[in-house]
Structure 1
Amino acid sequence: MLSLFCAFRFSEARYLKWEYVDLEQGLIRLPGTIPDQENRSPEAFRGTKNGCDHIVPLSSYPLDLLKRLHQNRTSTNPYVLPGVHHANKPISRTKQLFPVIADLVGSPFSPHATRRTFASIANEVGLGFLKVKRLLNHHFEGGVTGGYISPNFNPTKERVHFQKVCDFILERRAEYLGAIKRESVTFDKTKALRKLQRYALELGLEPVEALHMLTSQSERIGEVA
Structure 2
Amino acid sequence: MPAIRLTKRSIDAIESPASGQILYRDSDLIGFGLRVGTKTKVFYAEAQVKRRTIRVTIGKYGTTTPEVARKRAMEILSEMANGNDPRSEEITGADLTVKGAFDEFFNRRPLAKSSQFNYERTVRVYLKDWADKPIIEISRRMVLDRHKWLSDKNGAYTANTVMRHLRSVYNFTAAAYDDIPPNPVSILTQARAWNKERRRRSVIPVHGLPDWWQAVHEEDDSVRDFLIVALLTGMRRSEIARLRWDCIDLDGRILTVPRTKNGDPLQLPLSTYLYELLLSRRDQMPDEEWVFPGDGVTGHLVETKRFYNRVKERCGIAFTLHDLRRTFVTVAESMDVPHYALKRLLNHRSDGDVTGGYIIMDVERLRKPVEKVAQQILELVGGR
For normalisation by structure 2, the TM-score amounts to 0.39
Residues 101-151 of structure 1, C-alpha deviation per residue, up to 9 Å, x if partnerless? 222332211111111110110011111433221111112235333223333
Q: What is the aligned partner in structure 2 of residue 126 from structure 1?
A: 336
Output the CA distance in 1 between the equivalents of 2:354 and 2:320.
37
Alpha carbons of 1:94 and 1:30: their partners in 2 closer, same or farther (altered >3 Å)?
closer
8 Å CA contact 1:101–1:109 kept in 2: the answer is no
Alpha carbons of 1:134 and 1:94: their partners in 2 closer, same or farther (altered >3 Å)?
closer
Alpha carbons of 1:48 and 1:168: their partners in 2 closer, same or farther (altered >3 Å)?
same
Q: What is the aligned partner in structure 2 of residue 8 from structure 1?
A: 235
For normalisation by structure 1, the TM-score amounts to 0.64
Number of matched residues? Answer: 157
The DSSP-based 3-state class of the residue aligned with 2:251 is: coil
Q: What is the aligned partner in structure 2 of residue 83 from structure 1?
A: 294
Q: What is the aligned partner in structure 2 of residue 146 from structure 1?
A: 356
Query: Deviating runs (4+, > 4 A) in structure 1?
Result: none
Alignment of 1:9-158 (within 5 A): 9-31=236-258, 47-73=259-285, 76-84=287-295, 89-151=299-361, 154-158=362-366
Output the CA distance in 2 between the equivalents of 1:156 and 1:128.
14
8 Å CA contact 1:77–1:89 kept in 2: the answer is no
Alpha carbons of 1:85 and 1:53: their partners in 2 closer, same or farther (altered >3 Å)?
closer
Output the CA distance in 2 between the equivalents of 1:94 and 1:142.
35
Q: Structure 1: which 5+ runs fail to align?
A: 32-46, 178-225
The DSSP-based 3-state class of the residue aligned with 2:255 is: strand
Output the CA distance in 1 between the equivalents of 2:382 and 2:355.
42
Task: Note the aligned Cα RMSD (angstroms).
Answer: 1.9
Which structure exhibits the higher relative contact order, with contacts defined as CA atoms closer than 8 Å and separated by 6 or more residues?
A: 1
The DSSP-based 3-state class of the residue aligned with 1:55 is: strand
8 Å CA contact 2:340–2:356 kept in 1: the answer is no
Output the CA distance in 2 between the equivalents of 1:64 and 1:155.
19
The DSSP-based 3-state class of the residue aligned with 1:174 is: coil
Output the CA distance in 1 between the equivalents of 2:240 and 2:319.
16
The DSSP-based 3-state class of the residue aligned with 1:48 is: coil
